[in-house]
Amino acid sequence: MALINENFLKLPESYLFSDIKKKVEAFKHLHPDANIISLGIGDVTRPIAPVVIEALHAAVDEMGDSKTFRGYGPEQGYDFLQKKIIENDYIHRGVDLAPDEIFISDGAKSDIGNIGDILSMQNRVAVTDPVYPVYIDTNVMGGRAGNIAKDGQHWDNIIYIPCTSENNFIPEPPSVRPDIIYLCYPNNPTGTTLSKNELEKWVNYALENETLILFDSAYEAYIHDEGIPHSIYEVKDAKRVAIEFRSFSKTAGFTGLRCGYTVVPKELKLYDTSKKKVNINRLWNRRQTTKFNGTSYIVQRAAEATYSPVGKIQIQESIDYYMRNAGLLKDCLQKAGLQIYGGDNAPYIWVKTPNELSSWKFFDRLLYECHIVGTPGVGFGPSGEGYFRLTAFGRYEDTIESISRIQNWKL
């Protein structure tokens, strides 16, 4: 009798974005003519940069010619892209990596989910709270989360590290020692960052406690201020404790093209149950060569083009466009008397709901009174209650229109 992985049955039916969708559909049914603006789901809206489009056309033509056609590529990605990543994302930050420490994939979400394949089910996992739900859900599937508590929000084997305005969104080491901790900076959903000093504390914690850090830096391109690390490897010895996930999705608008990469340093060692050290780079390589056939060649050429001199300029233009939205939204929300966080080095603005409104109550009011869709903070975890996420990925015109509605809003 073929049996399922029963951990899947533990996952609650409803899911944040589908709940939002249902609410928006109900609203549309009542107000079919309303011009709803979405500042909710974190998808980009700007088209792919011209120089990247050129690279795609050239790569497509290569695939149509028997002299330049490419079949299966390396499962780990082409070295033309691995090398560009090292040169442009790491070397000038003092981080030295080899091409075989960079694994190209179809996106950070795949790698963040699949990394669990190489990790024991016995590991105790910690997350900052609020958090990107994928970190939790993939660990539920992998049997590391335990059971959901009666509150429907906490998993009893996950360690939650609250990040709220009370601690200035700086996670503190938990009382129970985790084997694995997910850190995402610039943070989704709060838009906050960690200074190098704060990140150093976590690397040292991980070194002392033999904790693996899964570092998600999908939003590093939005860092504007000096002194905020773009990569965890800017911190000394981080290679011994951290895997870093990166994506071209938010950096270069690749959400529909699909490309990301994961750095697994050769210095990183974890343990088997006999406490013998195991090289993780080799394990991940084996996982990828067995369960993955590489990222589309033409998409890897597109990613390569983002590192050309013109590519960098064009991509920065889109980031600047989104960050102008962030600045305008932030300014407007502050003038409306709201307490807000993030938005300086991240495309996310984290709003403290006024008058102790719940996240969902604030969602309903913003939808029904301003026709704006955002994301209730509680959807990202229990410590997100009383907060609300807005994204800067909308069109400029929509952001301006949102601002004008919020200005006239009687909160």
Residues numbered 349 to 388 that lie near a copy of itself (CB under 8 A) are none
Q: Does 118 bind a copy of itself (CB under 8 A)?
A: yes
Q: Which is nearer to a copy of itself, 232 or 340 (CB)?
A: 232
Q: Which is nearer to a copy of itself, 1 or 30 (CB)?
A: 1
105, 82 Cβ separation under 8 angstroms: no
Q: Judged by CB under 8 A, which of 138, 187, 262, 391 binds a copy of itself?
A: 138
Q: State which amino acid sits at residue 286.
A: R
Q: Rounded to an integer, what distance in angstroms lies between the CA atom of residue 275 and that of residue 81? A: 36
Q: Judged by CB under 8 A, which of 34, 121, 149, 310 binds a copy of itself?
A: 121
Residues near a copy of itself (CB under 8 A), total = 81
Residue in the block written with tokens 């995402």? 184
Q: Which of 112, 94, 366 is nearest to 261 (CA)?
A: 112
Q: Does 298 bind a copy of itself (CB under 8 A)?
A: yes
Q: Does 176 bind a copy of itself (CB under 8 A)?
A: no
CB of 241 to a copy of itself, least distance (A): 9
The separation between the first and the last C-alpha atoms of the chain, rounded to the nearest angstrom, is 58
Q: State which amino acid sits at residue 277.
A: K
Q: Does 25 bind a copy of itself (CB under 8 A)?
A: no
Q: Rounded to an integer, what distance in angstroms lies between the CA atom of residue 104 and that of residue 396? A: 32
CB of 365 to a copy of itself, least distance (A): 27
- Judged by CB under 8 A, the stretch of 94-102, 287-295, 358-366, 371-379 that binds a copy of itself is 287-295
Q: Rounded to an integer, what distance in angstroms lies between the CA atom of residue 285 and that of residue 294? A: 12
| Secondary structure (DSSP) of 277-316 | EEEHHHHHHHHHHHH-----HHHHHHHHHTTSHHHHHHHH
103, 76 Cβ separation under 8 angstroms: yes
Q: Judged by CB under 8 A, which of 262, 295, 308, 353 binds a copy of itself?
A: 295
Q: Is 402 known as a binding-site position?
A: no
Q: Does 73 bind a copy of itself (CB under 8 A)?
A: yes
CA dist 362 to 39, 248, 377, Å?
14, 32, 10
Q: Is 249 known as a binding-site position?
A: yes
Q: State which amino acid sits at residue 241.
A: V
Q: Does 272 bind a copy of itself (CB under 8 A)?
A: yes
Which residues in the 251-270 window bind a copy of itself by CB under 8 A?
A: 253, 255-258, 270
Q: Is 303 known as a binding-site position?
A: no
| Secondary structure (DSSP) of 232-266 | GGGSTTGGGTEEEEEESHHHH-TTTT--EEEE--T
Q: Judged by CB under 8 A, which of 293, 334, 339, 407 binds a copy of itself?
A: 293
Q: Does 107 bind a copy of itself (CB under 8 A)?
A: yes
Q: Does 318 bind a copy of itself (CB under 8 A)?
A: no
- Judged by CB under 8 A, the stretch of 6-14, 89-97, 305-313, 333-341 that binds a copy of itself is 6-14
Q: Judged by CB under 8 A, which of 134, 328, 336, 400 binds a copy of itself?
A: 134
Q: Does 120 bind a copy of itself (CB under 8 A)?
A: yes
CB of 240 to a copy of itself, least distance (A): 12
Phi, psi dihedrals of residue 152, rounded to the nearest 5°: 70, 10
CA dist 127 to 123, 131, 216, 278, 364, Å?
13, 7, 12, 24, 28
Q: Is 219 known as a binding-site position?
A: yes
Q: Which is nearer to a copy of itself, 36 or 53 (CB)?
A: 53
- Residues marked as binding for substrate? 15, 42, 109, 132, 188, 293, 389
